[in-house]
Amino acid sequence: MADVVDLIMQDHREVERLFAELESNPQARPTVVPVLTTLLAAHSRAEESEVYPAAADAGGADDVEHSQQEHIEADELLERLAEADPEGAEFEEILAKAVESVSHHIEEEEETVLLHMRERMDVSRREELGDAFLKAREEHLGQQPADITRDELRRQADNAGITGVSGLDKASLQEELRKQADG
């Protein structure tokens, strides 16, 4: 059993490594981008379904809402990155925005949500969440940010504290989440 905080931080270090590879090795972009976007999609869906609700219940609802909004922004940037020509000027611009956004999210999440989980949850609860996180992440490996389901979008809305969206179809829900995240 592994502590969920440690598992999340391991993923964060891997994301940072992949960003460094994308920035320093343009020839590797066609193969590294799908790895990055797949890892982040699986990581985000696992946090959203397993970790964020538990962190909110442990007194971190405001931090979770903020982190969830950052996930929504990251999903949009990663979709754009995956669609961009790795040799084009637009790729550089999107990559810079994605690196800035995701790096900011990682820093804040580690200083708030994860720190509070260490302080407010005992080790056995964090290990239980670690198992759930790993299982959920494994279920989503191979998916891209665009593969998100309506139910997962509803979970994002719940985590972000956005109400009144349960009756929306997937496209409308996704648009509302993006508007709220840009907010």
Q: How far is 160 from 45, CA to CA, in rounded Å?
A: 14
Quick: pLDDT tens for 56-97: 999 989 999 999 999 999 999 999 999 999 999 899 999 999
Q: Average pLDDT, stretch 151-175? A: 91
Spell out the domain ranges in the chain: 4-182
- Token code pair at residue 32: 């590294």
User: Using CA atoms in the order 24, 29, 35, 40, what is the torsion angle rounded to 10 degrees?
Assistant: 70
Give the lowest-confidence range in 16-30, 42-56, 71-85, 162-176: 162-176
Report which of 70, 157, 57 is spatially closest to residue 111, judged by C-alpha positions.
70
Please give the biggest Cα pair distance in the chain. 48
Q: How far is 142 from 156, CA to CA, in rounded Å?
A: 20
Q: How far is 179 from 15, CA to CA, in rounded Å?
A: 26
Quick: pLDDT tens for 114-152: 999 999 999 999 999 999 999 999 999 999 998 999 999
The pLDDT of residue 178? 85
Residues 99 and 92 sit within 8 Å (Cβ to Cβ): no
Q: Which residue has the higher pLDDT, 144 or 8?
A: 8
